[in-house]
Amino acid sequence: SRRYPLSWRKVVCRLKKPLYGLKQALCAWHSKITQYLHQIGFCMSKLDNSLYIRRKSENPIVIILYTDDLVIGGKNLDISKVKSLLFSRFEMIDMHELHYFLDIEAVRTPVGILISPRHYILNFLYKFEMTKPLSIETSSSMPTLEQKSACGLNIVSWSVA
């Protein structure tokens, strides 16, 4: 291959391989999955176009669509039926129980599902090297509780007088 001088500012490159995953492909996928979800009884939320709801019985089913990921929520039996419909139409992989979605942690508890941004926040702190404790004095707040997190960060909550 030839080497060109760095002083050249306007360079045109020839693409040897096609690019996949362009915005048009995502647009086409979103359109296709939306059309199919409407066919099987789901309605797109008016507030969020990535949220689909089906209220066929007393147990609603919700689907959150993000890029090419789907999160399905509802009763297990209803979820299984929807998954079988989706598998019959699209090539998909079942990742089973949700643990993380967009760096948000989901933990099943006896009373429901706990959604926590802890993983996202810890990644953010590590990325920007902010893992060492830092104390700042303020006159309007008073620390009431201090605890250590799993990674050794000090977590302080306070109340404002």
**Mean pLDDT in residue range 22-45:** 85
Amino acid found at 63: I
Which residue type occupies 106? Answer: A
> In angstroms, rounded to a whole number, what is the distance separating the alpha carbons of residues 156 and 161?
16
State both tokens at 117: 């941004």
Nearest Cα neighbor of 65 from 79, 50, 54, 53 is 50
Q: What is the pLDDT of residue 39?
A: 95
Q: What is the mean pLDDT of residues 51-58?
A: 86
List, for residues 125-159, the tens digit of each pLDDT value. 888 888 777 776 666 555 444 444 444 444 444 44
Distance CA 43, CA 63 (A): 10
At residue 11, the pLDDT reads: 54
| DSSP reduced 3-state for 97 | coil
